[in-house]
Chain A
Amino acid sequence: MNAIEIRNLSKSFRGMYAVDHLNMTVPQGAIYGFIGENGSGKSTTEKLICGHLVPDGGEIKLFGKDYTDPGVRVRVGALIENAGCFPNSSIYQNLRMQTINLGLENADEEIDRVLKIVRMEEHANLKFKKCSLGMKQRVGIAMALLGDPALLILDEPINGLDTDGMRIMREILIEITQKYGCTVLISSHILGELEKITTHYGIIRQGKMIMELSAEEMDSRAQVFVSLKTADMAKAKAVLKTKFDSVREEDGYLRVYDVEDVESIVDFLMKNGHVVSEIKKNKIGLEEYYIELMSQKGDK
């Protein structure tokens, strides 16, 4: 079963489509990375799924049911734009309100559980307005986790976090999917971080889904390349171009694409009088793949 199934979803503001006949499929149990430029329609799509916005047309199904079904929606947790907490209330009070809202009987246990997951158990009595950005994001996740959600919708949860904050967030997301079987829809600009946790990707541009693929498919599509350094990069590049189709200079390295045999490159350069000082085999990451994809679509 798919956790989210969207067909032909549209939403316009003042005649401009923010979401333009979008189709989307998020399998149950997936960590779905939702990628797109600023203003591409990610947050609007997420708000539509959460019922904050009224669609112009199309269909949204959550776990096979219409998204307006109260039984499904009560199992959706969301962190969109900010945590949605009262600043003058403590973290505990904010979470307590959500347990009441969800009708949870074992409120204190549940609050302890989610605070442990987000590593905030020591700060329950801290006023929300006193929290750092990273803490606020974690409280937002804790809010979303209350009541055993089947689906988590997280809009840019790692924005503004430091390296340690990102690591904690990554561990939290992996834990909640593996331990609680939750499906996660996550949007982020930090693609390198997203790449470490996502099982599926959806790439949106100008309100349209331009590609959906699994992490395995992404892996198989990602180009392999060998990057190297020589004393005379310009001449070495010219030499390599006589034998290999795709050679580029990037970040102070020469990149030879779609070649896995490192030795053949070293031999070839040696025969042509170039000594390789540094060489490594690599694969392009999500970020580069995304940039490449965007530039191709932009050209079209």
Chain B
Amino acid sequence: MTKEIKFESPTFVERLKGMLGVDFYRLFHTPLFYIFLAIAAIIPAMVSGMTTMPDQNGNQIEIYQNAWQIIAASKSLYVIESIADYANMNMVFIFGGIMVSIFIGHDYQSGYVKQLFTTHAKKQDYMISKSLVCAFAMACMCVTYLLGGIAGGLFAGYDWDVNAGSLIIAILGKMVMSLGWASLYTFLNIIFRRYFGISVASSFFFGTGIVIIGAAAIVENLSLPTFILNIFLYGASVNASLVSNIWTLVTCLMVSIAWAVIYNVVGTHILNNSDVY
């Protein structure tokens, strides 16, 4: 005699709860997360240790004038004028990309992804969960970066004068941008899921903002308003500087959510229409 089986469809929230639970469990139980938190803390301390560097004429110049420049650039600069404009909390998005690639890559390398896709018929669960968990990880890296930056600033003996409101908005703005960046990296890892090396390289490539720096050069040459670059992840991230106002945060929030939605929708579509393992 066969057993009567009842099937109850889990709701979207129940499904997502399960997937998020697994991803958070993995995140907190993998050394990878803690290693990247440590890297995020060490890098700003190291950068602040390099208080001077040679200019074009060979003269030694100060990289930073203010300790908070390690956290955010002194103004919104889409084209890099000096290392100080570049080396700030935006670097978290580069390390974060590598972390996300390794985190998602392990899903495929171990074969665990088969368990997830067998029991989760809806592929959007995977995309959303990975984006949210990786965004959380990158936001945590922003926090350790901040702590490392403060420690480095203290060590280097920089000036601490800053508009506190703008600083807080810049930090929050960059943390908010983690969602958009994490969604981008999740998307890239979905596309290159069979090629771990390419996943890591593509995440690094996009994280450095090379694409948007090129776009910025074009925009400046055409004398177009540079604020249009804020519609991109890197643009909005750079825009969160030490002269930020509340609209900077609103822009970060909108841009981050918009790109997260775009990458999740397209990523889900790709997963639904291609072989996942």
Contact = CB atoms under 8 A, between A and B. Distances in A.
Contacts of B118: 50-52, 73, 76-78
Given A50-B117, A63-B7, A74-B10, A103 B112 contact: no
Contacts of B272: 54
B20 to A, nearest CB: 9
Interface stretch (A79-87, A108-116, A156-164): A79-87
Q: Which of A52, A53, A70, A87 has its CB near the most chain B CB atoms (within 10 A)?
A: A70
A76 B119 contact: yes
Given A97-B25, A101-B116, A54 B15 contact: no
Given A29-B2, A70-B122, A54 B115 contact: no
Given A70-B10, A86-B110, A143 B115 contact: yes
A98 B113 CA distance: 11
B121 A51 contact: yes
Contacts of B111: 81-85
B17 A75 contact: no
Contacts of A103: 10, 14, 17-18, 21
B247 interface: no
A28 interface: yes
Interface string B103-114: 000100011111
B274 interface: yes
Contacts of B21: 100-101, 103
Interface string A100-127: 1111000000000000000000000000
A72 B120 CA distance: 10
B1 to A, nearest CB: 8
Contact of B2 (A28, A50, A65, A94): A28
Interface residues of B, number: 37
Interface residues of A, number: 46
B8 interface: yes
A94 B113 CA distance: 12
A72 B216 CA distance: 50
A96 interface: yes
Contacts of A63: 5, 7
Nearest to A84: B111
A53 B113 CA distance: 13
A253 B86 CA distance: 83
B243 to A, nearest CB: 44
Contacts of A181: 2-3, 5
A100 B22 contact: yes
A133 to B, nearest CB: 15
A73 B7 CA distance: 9
A180 B5 CA distance: 11
Given A54-B274, A54-B275, A74-B10, A98 B115 contact: yes
Contacts of B106: 86
B10 A71 contact: yes
Contact of A50 (B18, B19, B114): B114
Interface string B136-149: 00000000000000
Given A51-B121, A52-B277, A70-B122, A89 B29 contact: yes
B9 interface: yes
Contacts of B26: 86, 97
A47 interface: yes
A65 to B, nearest CB: 7
B276 interface: yes
Contact of A73 (B5, B121, B277): B121
A38 B8 CA distance: 37
B59 interface: no
Nearest to B275: A53
A100 B14 CA distance: 11
A46 to B, nearest CB: 10
B273 interface: yes
A79 B219 CA distance: 53
Contacts of A254: none
A261 interface: no
A86 B29 CA distance: 11
A63 B18 CA distance: 23
A150 interface: yes
A85 to B, nearest CB: 6
A246 interface: no
Given A86-B112, A96-B25, A52 B15 contact: no
Give the 8 A-B residue pairs with the shortest CB-CB distance, closest first: A181-B3, A71-B9, A84-B111, A100-B21, A71-B7, A29-B2, A73-B121, A50-B118
Given A70-B121, A71-B9, A98-B22, 12 more contacts: A1-B2, A47-B277, A51-B117, A52-B276, A65-B7, A69-B121, A71-B7, A78-B114, A97-B26, A100-B18, A101-B22, A101-B119
12 contacts: A47-B275, A63-B7, A67-B121, A69-B9, A70-B9, A71-B10, A75-B5, A84-B113, A86-B110, A89-B29, A94-B112, A100-B18
Interface of A: 1, 27-29, 47, 50-54, 63, 65, 67-78, 80-87, 89, 93-94, 96-98, 100-103, 143, 150, 180-181
